[in-house]
Structures are given as C-alpha cells and as structure tokens.
Structure 1
Amino acid sequence: MIERPPGPFSWAVVVLLVVLSLWPILWAVASAFKPPASIIREPLTFDPSAFTLSNFEAMFANVPIGTGFLNTAIVLLVKGSITMVFAPLAGYAFAKYEFRGKRILFGTVMVTLMLPVVVLMIPLLLEMKTFGWVNSYPALILPGAVDAFAIFWMRQVISGVPDELLDAARVDGCGELGIFARIVVPVIRPGLAGLAVLTIMNIYNDFVWPVVITSTEGMATLQVVLSTLAQNITGNNISTDFASVWGQLLAASTIAMIPLIVLFMLLQRHFVNGIVGGSLKG
C-alpha cells in the first residue's frame, strides 16, 4: 500500500502547532533584551535599535544564578552517572536473566511508578534527617538516583537484543560483565542516549525535592533559585520597579533554557531513535 505524502492542510497544521509552541519561548528571549519599560509598555514588539543587556547585568548582580548552576551541575553529573550505570545493569538483569522472584520484584518496581511524589516526601525527609544529610549534596543526589522508569526503559530496550549474540559471547569465554559492556551497550546506544536526555531533563528541571531538602542559598539548585528570583531581586534593591523585575526574570529564564536546548539539538537523532526503540521492544 502506497502512502500519500502529507497535503497542504497537514503542513499548515504542523506549521501552526510549531509557531504556537515556539512563540512563548521566542517572546521571552526577545523580551529579555528589551529595556524593562518596553516589556510592559510594548510587550508584542521588538526594536533592534533598543537592544540592551541591562536585564542580564542587573540579574547577575541581584541573583545567585551562578550558585544555582554550579549545584545543579554537581547533582546532574553525579546523579546522572549513577542512573546511567545502574539502571542499564538492572534492566539487563530483568530482561535477560531468570531468577526466583523476578516477576514479583519487577512488579514491585513498577508499582512505585504509581506512587505520587508527595507521598514520598515526608518519609524521605525523615530518612535524610536521620542520616544527617538535610541541606547537603547526598540528599539532593541519592533519592531517586535509580528510579523505576529508568529500569523499565532499559529493560524494554535490552529485551530487543538477540539472545544468540549473548550465547555466542559466552561460548567464546566472555564473562557476564564483559558481555554487557562489549555486546549489549553498543547495541542499545540509542536507548542509552534517550535515557540520558530524559535523565538530564528530569534532574535539571527538578524543583519539588530540592526546595524541600535545601534550606540555604548556597545549596539551592537552579530551579530553586529561579523560583525565588523576584524575592532576590526586590530584596537586594528595594526600589526595583515591576518592569525591572520582569526584565531580570526573563533574562534568567533565557539563560536557564540554553543548556537543555543545546543538549537536545546535539542528541536529537539518538533521542528519537531511543524513544521509538524503547516503545516497540518488550
């Protein structure tokens, strides 16, 4: 059966959806480079001759966004590394090994996906207090470092690896970790790239847990810093007007968007392949 190419109406709908999706982002970025008064007085226009960096200069002077980026980078590097190492190993075990209680254990892991985040907040907070980790990097990193979704994702992807490849490697005398590192990992590279993008986005955008577990400005992640932008701006300069607050808010939001946009552009092909592969295997 020959599929017809998309018609003009389909392309028009796609273009309209793209414009509607990108318009708020483009407006926020353009407004960040406008004089504060123009953001309020002329919100839908942009005059290139009025281009200014004053919003960014004022924001860096009033908001500890550098501290937020640093804390987020540390959490992202360590927590992301833990996820990318142990989630594939767990997924490999569930996909390719048979052991007693496997289905019960996997079902228990899946049940945790149905638990609302709010339900786990108090128990986790009490646990961190017992360990003396409140307002520390271990508390930001360890909870949720290997979550159920990452294990499920890897299990789905690794299920598509032919058992014959693994059996041939065993016949050649390759150990189990060697099979995983030399056979499985190269085959599931698109799935790993997809998991990496999702993991980075989840950690980068995480707000609820960091705002609960941190209590000082020095431990605040980027999202916590962004949530308190208006307070920081007005607190450091009592005379700051409403327009200046909006300008600095848009400047900070623009900077916060850059890492995720660059990441997705670099890994877009692998991410899409990983999404498709992970959704079809099982």
Structure 2
Amino acid sequence: MGRVLRAAGAQGFLLLLAVAALAPIAWALVSAFKPAAEIVSDPLGLDVTTLTVENYRRMFADVPIGQGFLNTAVVLVAKGSLTLFCAPLAAYAFAKYRFAGRELLFGTVLITLMLPTIVLIIPLLLEMKALGWVNTYQALILPGAVDAFAIFWMRQVIAAVPDELIDAARVDGCGELGIFTRIVLPVIRPAMAGLAVLTVMNIYNDFVWPVVAASSERMATLQVVLSTLAQNITGNRIGADYATVTGELLAAASVALVPLLILFIALQKHFINGILAGSVKG
C-alpha cells in the first residue's frame, strides 16, 4: 500500500510539474487567436465566439518573419549537417585511435566548453570582418559548426563500442572508413538522433551570435527577427497600441514555437534513447 501511495504521489508531482511547464505555452498559443484588446483586458478569459486570426494576419504584414524562417532554415541545414558529419568522425578518432598528443588535444577541446560565448564574440567578429563575411551565411554557419560538446558526447558513446567488433572488421579486410560507416554508425544511431535534436534546438534558438554577425534585415535569423518584432510593428503602423503589439508578439512566438514542438513530439523517443546511449557501459 505504501509503495502504491508513493508511486501515486510521484506521478501527481510530475503531473503538476508538467502542467506548470505547459500552461504558459498553452496560454500563448490560445491567446494568439484572441482579439488584441481582449488579451490585455481579460488575459485568462476565453470566449470562443471571438477567436480570430487577425493577430497572425497583421503580424505577417508587419514583420519579415518569412525571411527569418528562410535564413534559419539555411543555417540549420548547413550548420547541422557539418556538426553531425564532423563531430562523430573527430570523436571516433579520440575514442579508438592512439596517437601522440591525443589527451592534450582532447583536453583542449574540453577547455573550450568552459569559455562563455560572450568571450568569443569579439575575436570571432574581427575574424569575420577580416574575411569579409559579416552579414553572410558563412558567418552564421561556420563558427561553432564543429561543436566541442558534440565531440565530447560522441566520444563517450563511441568509447562504449566494443574494440573486438572493430578489430574483427579489420581482420576481415574492412577499411577504416568502412569500419566507421558499417560498424560504428549503426551502433551509435540513437545517440546521433539525440545529438540531431539538440543541435537543431541550439541552432534554432541561437540569438547572441546571429544578432552580432548578421545585423542586416536581409540576413536576420528568426530569433533576431523576433527580438526586433515590437519595433517593426510600431514602425510599420502609426498608432499601434500596446494591445496590438502584444497580440502580434504572441502570434509570432506561436509561429516560432510550433516547429520545435512538432520536432520534439515526433522525435522524443529517439531523443530520450540518445540521451541514455552510452550512459551504461558493458
């Protein structure tokens, strides 16, 4: 009986946490369909007869959110592909090869994890300026494409792959690239899926570097567009009041939120399996 009560208490506590986490998201998604004046006058109320898409219509007319989505998509595909291609290869070398300076080099990679992003902004910006890459896709994609955390995580996962499998493949005449693609990759596929989800989320939500490296409206990513949304609304419409700005802000936030929600719901099983991959060795 005591075990049942403890399990029920734990489930109830987790349910409360889930409600507390999801309530703001649900409120934002629903409020985006309410008339702007009603959002301010009765933020917790809901009259289904007054629901409208006017906030979305105005937001798409006032804000270049489509350009932000396009830029984010380009950066996401290019930068994400580089991360998922380079990180496992580097991690495989660190995990399964013995070479001079391996520990020193891997330690250097780990040290970069301790550096705050703000410390790297000025040197990176000066480098982008010297290369003539400011306000270009190169500046948004290349810095940070080979992520230190991704290398570290993949190394821990690949280290758990039995050496006997790799040695047997070598005895059978398989080349090093073949060993990686035919032996290692199938084993670490759950971790790769988890890394893909984390990589997408990090790139999609990145704000600090894009707002510095791509300040022009033409190259602004989605998060940069959202950060300047209120100014765009008031600048494009004379007399835009607080309620109007709030309604369009909620509409834009909802549009930006939906892709990540869909991604996580669709891939949550792979994400959880990827987080657990390599956590138990043997």
Superposition TM-score tier, normalisation by shorter sequence: over 0.9
Helix, strand or coil at the partner of 1:218:
coil
- Contact between 1:160 and 1:281, CA under 8 Å: does it hold in 2? yes
Corresponding letter in the other structure for 2:11: W
Bigger mean CA deviation after superposition, 164-173 or 77-86 = 164-173
Match of 2:52 in 1: 52
What is the distance in 1 between the residues matched to 2:46 and 2:57? 20
Q: Deviations 1:33-71 (Å, cap 9, x if unpaired)?
A: 000010001100111111100000000000000000000
Match of 1:203 in 2: 203
Q: Deviations 1:172-201 (Å, cap 9, x if unpaired)?
A: 111000010011111100000010000000
Q: Deviations 1:192-231 (Å, cap 9, x if unpaired)?
A: 0010000000000000000001121010000000000000
Q: Are residues 1:262 and 2:279 paired?
A: no
Match of 1:127 in 2: 127
Q: Are residues 1:73 and 2:78 paired?
A: no
What is the distance in 2 between the residues matched to 1:86 and 1:244? 46
Corresponding letter in the other structure for 1:32: A
Corresponding letter in the other structure for 2:226: L
Q: CA deviation at 1:279?
A: 3.6
1:95-106 alignment, distance < 5 Å: 95-106=95-106
Match of 1:168 in 2: 168
What is the distance in 1 between the residues matched to 2:265 and 2:98? 39
Q: Deviations 1:85-126 (Å, cap 9, x if unpaired)?
A: 000000100111110000000000000000011110110000
Match of 1:225 in 2: 225
Q: CA deviation at 1:4?
A: 4.5
Corresponding letter in the other structure for 1:200: V
What is the distance in 2 between the residues matched to 1:252 and 1:206? 17
Match of 1:91 in 2: 91
What is the distance in 1 between the residues matched to 2:240 and 2:94? 57
Match of 2:36 in 1: 36
Corresponding letter in the other structure for 1:68: G
What is the distance in 1 between the residues matched to 2:203 and 2:154? 18
Question: Percent identical across equivalent pairs?
Answer: 67
Shift in alpha-carbon separation, 1:278–1:237, aligned structure 2, 3 A: farther
Corresponding letter in the other structure for 2:34: K
Q: Are residues 1:251 and 2:244 paired?
A: no
What is the distance in 2 between the residues matched to 1:281 and 1:80? 28
1:142-153 alignment, distance < 5 Å: 142-153=142-153
Match of 1:178 in 2: 178
Corresponding letter in the other structure for 1:148: A
Q: Are residues 1:20 and 2:20 paired?
A: yes
1:104-115 alignment, distance < 5 Å: 104-115=104-115
Q: Deviations 1:113-157 (Å, cap 9, x if unpaired)?
A: 000111101100000001000010000000000111010010011
Q: CA deviation at 1:253?
A: 0.3
Corresponding letter in the other structure for 1:110: L
Aligned residues: 280
Corresponding letter in the other structure for 1:271: F
Match of 1:194 in 2: 194
What is the distance in 2 between the residues matched to 1:112 and 1:260? 28
- Contact between 1:210 and 1:224, CA under 8 Å: does it hold in 2? yes
Match of 2:7 in 1: 7
List runs of 5+ in structure 2 lacking aligned partners.
none
What is the distance in 2 between the residues matched to 1:280 and 1:120? 35
Q: Give the TM-score, by structure 1 length.
A: 0.97
What is the distance in 2 between the residues matched to 1:118 and 1:58? 35
What is the distance in 2 between the residues matched to 1:30 and 1:103? 52
Match of 1:137 in 2: 137
Corresponding letter in the other structure for 1:265: I
What is the distance in 2 between the residues matched to 1:150 and 1:24? 31
Root mean square deviation, CA, Å:
1.3
Give the ranges of 4+ consecutive aligned residues of structure 1 lying more than 2 Å apart after TM superposition. 3-8, 278-282
What is the distance in 1 between the residues matched to 2:74 and 2:242? 33
- Contact between 1:156 and 1:281, CA under 8 Å: does it hold in 2? no
Helix, strand or coil at the partner of 1:45:
coil
What is the distance in 2 between the residues matched to 1:220 and 1:170? 48
What is the distance in 2 between the residues matched to 1:208 and 1:129? 17
